[in-house]
């Protein structure tokens, strides 16, 4: 009898284990912005496609608003394995892959068609940075290049209409040295601050100006501390969707393909949402007390574009610059 009961217990336990589904893999994906923002939309699109395509074997947990830290913190966390993915501006990985700094060149792309050509998964630009990230040893794998909207200049020192209006203004820039030099050429006094510190930096007078996407300015409520918004339209935000290389390699080939496809679709979606937000969000600024100014864009272009070749040559990026120009 004892032996029979033991056998039944073993069989029941085996049946229970067989009936219990395997625990889902969960990818922790972070971004410093909050909705509405194309990076958050891209994250949601990625989550939906991955979870549907894997029948729930792979879950995606999204942390927005810098919940996992600022950009640099998230990159470091991915490198040590405590976070899995990031959607953000490419400048957050430029300390490890300096060639990304080429996207700090203001007025690099003539229009959105040029930008779409550069970020396409079959473009030589994407292939270049996919290889550069792999060879850098940073521990990330590039899944997609994406947009984030048009970048404009905002301040609390008054309207900015031409480059001379930036003379002596303390301006926040990304960690990119090239980004700083772009604005120093206009006379700004640049300082590097994480995105999550811009609000308090403006409040305390650490900086009096910054540049950002239209949606980033809106979703982070930066209009509260920077009520002057100048339509410089100096950059189309180059962004990336990347994953821990070790984490990616632990997935089956089937799931790797699903993750890669989903990220590339999400990248395309994020680019288009950036265009959509640019058109819609700026219409709300007047009601928020924001003064939106048209700028002498040609004056900014004339000041910066002649420097492209010089900066590219100094950083051995001439061939890459020509690749982008020839798209």
Instruction: Tell me the CATH number at 269.
Output: 3.40.190.170
Angle at the Cα of 215 (from 213 to 217), degrees rounded to 5? 70
pLDDT above 50 (res 224): yes
Give 66's pLDDT tier (boundaries 50, 70, 90).
very high
Q: Give 327: exposed, middle or buried? Use CB within 10 Å, 0-12, 13-18, 19+.
A: middle
Residue 203 placed within a domain: yes
- 77 and 215 together in one domain: no
The long-range contacts involving 7-11, CB below 8 angstroms and separated by at least 24 positions, are none
> Would you state the pLDDT for residue 327?
86
The DSSP output letter for 177 is H
Q: How do residues 84-130 score in pLDDT, each as one tens digit?
A: 999 999 999 999 999 999 998 999 999 999 999 999 999 999 999 99
- 142 and 74 together in one domain: yes
- Whole-number percent of the chain with pLDDT over 90: 84
pLDDT above 60 (res 21): no
Give 22's pLDDT tier (boundaries 50, 70, 90).
low
> Would you state the pLDDT for residue 23?
60
In this structure, of 3-7, 122-126, 307-311, the range with the lowest mean pLDDT score is 3-7
Would you tell me the crossing angle of helices 318-325 and 124-136 to the nearest 10 degrees?
A: 150
Residue 256 placed within a domain: yes
- 126 and 145 together in one domain: yes
- 215 and 95 together in one domain: no
> Would you state the pLDDT for residue 119?
97
Q: How do residues 148-189 score in pLDDT, each as one tens digit?
A: 999 999 999 999 999 999 999 999 998 888 889 889 998 999
Average pLDDT (193-206) is 95
Which among 300, 124, 279, 259 has a CA at the least distance from the CA of 213? 279
Average pLDDT (230-246) is 97
Strands 85-89 and 239-244: antiparallel
For the chain, what is the domain count? 2
Q: What is the domain extent for residue 55? A: 22-149+238-279
> Would you state the pLDDT for residue 290?
98
Angle at the Cα of 102 (from 100 to 105), degrees rounded to 5? 135
- 200 and 292 together in one domain: yes
pLDDT above 80 (res 199): yes
- 296 and 265 together in one domain: no
Residue 253 placed within a domain: yes
Residue 298 placed within a domain: yes
- 82 and 182 together in one domain: no
> Would you state the pLDDT for residue 10?
44
Residue 118 placed within a domain: yes
Enumerate residues 6+ apart whose C-beta is below 8 A from 291.
159, 227, 228, 229
Q: Tokens at residue 282, please?
A: 């700026």
How far, in whole angstroms, is CA 182 from its chain's centroid?
A: 20
Secondary structure of 155-210 in the HEC alphabet?
ECCCCCCCHHHHCCCEEEECCCHHHHHHHHCCCCEEEECCHHHHHHHHHHCCCCEE
- 27 and 120 together in one domain: yes
- 251 and 133 together in one domain: yes
- Whole-number percent of the chain with pLDDT over 70: 93
Give 6's pLDDT tier (boundaries 50, 70, 90).
very low
How far, in whole angstroms, is CA 125 from its chain's centroid?
A: 17
Rounded distance between C-alpha atoms, residue 33 and residue 65, angstroms: 5
- 82 and 191 together in one domain: no
Strand partners, 173: 192
> Would you state the pLDDT for residue 5?
44
Rounded distance between C-alpha atoms, residue 271 and residue 9, angstroms: 57
Q: Give 73: exposed, middle or buried? Use CB within 10 Å, 0-12, 13-18, 19+.
A: middle
Residue 13 placed within a domain: no
> Would you state the pLDDT for residue 286?
93
Q: Tokens at residue 266, please?
A: 């999400």
Give 2's pLDDT tier (boundaries 50, 70, 90).
very low
Strand partners, 190: 171
- 101 and 191 together in one domain: no
Residue 249 placed within a domain: yes
Residue 221 placed within a domain: yes
- 40 and 62 together in one domain: yes
């Amino acid at each position: 009898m004892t032996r029979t009961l033991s056998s039944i217990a073993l069989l029941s336990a085996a049946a229970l284990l067989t009936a219990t589904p395997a625990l889902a893999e969960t990818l922790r994906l972070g971004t410093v912005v909050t909705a509405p923002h194309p990076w958050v939309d891209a994250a949601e699109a990625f989550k939906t496609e991955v979870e549907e395509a894997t029948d729930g074997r792979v879950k995606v947990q999204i942390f927005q608003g810098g919940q996992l830290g600022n950009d640099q913190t998230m990159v470091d966390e991915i490198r040590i394995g405590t976070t899995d993915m990031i959607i953000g501006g490419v400048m957050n990985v430029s300390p490890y892959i300096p060639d990304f700094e080429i996207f700090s060149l203001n007025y690099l792309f003539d229009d959105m068609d040029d930008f779409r050509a550069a970020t396409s998964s079959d473009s030589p630009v994407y292939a270049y940075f996919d290889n550069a990230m792999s060879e850098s040893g940073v521990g990330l794998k590039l899944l997609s290049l994406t947009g984030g909207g048009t970048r404009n200049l905002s301040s609390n020192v008054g309207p900015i209409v031409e480059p001379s209006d930036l003379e002596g203004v303390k301006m926040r820039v990304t960690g990119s040295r090239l980004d700083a030099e772009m604005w120093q050429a206009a006379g700004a006094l640049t300082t590097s601050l994480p995105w999550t510190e811009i609000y308090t930096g403006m409040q305390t007078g650490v900086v009096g100006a910054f540049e950002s996407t239209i949606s980033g300015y809106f979703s982070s409520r930066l209009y509260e501390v920077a009520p002057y918004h100048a339509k410089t339209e100096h950059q189309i935000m180059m962004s990336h969707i990347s994953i821990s290389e070790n984490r990616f390699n632990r997935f089956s080939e089937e799931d790797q393909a699903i993750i890669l496809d989903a990220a590339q679709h999400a990248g395309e979606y994020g680019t288009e949402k950036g265009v959509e937000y640019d058109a819609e969000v700026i219409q709300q600024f007047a009601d928020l007390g924001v003064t939106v100014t048209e700028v002498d864009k040609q004056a900014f272009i004339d000041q910066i574009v002649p420097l492209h070749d010089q900066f590219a040559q100094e950083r051995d990026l001439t061939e890459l610059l020509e690749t982008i120009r020839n798209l």
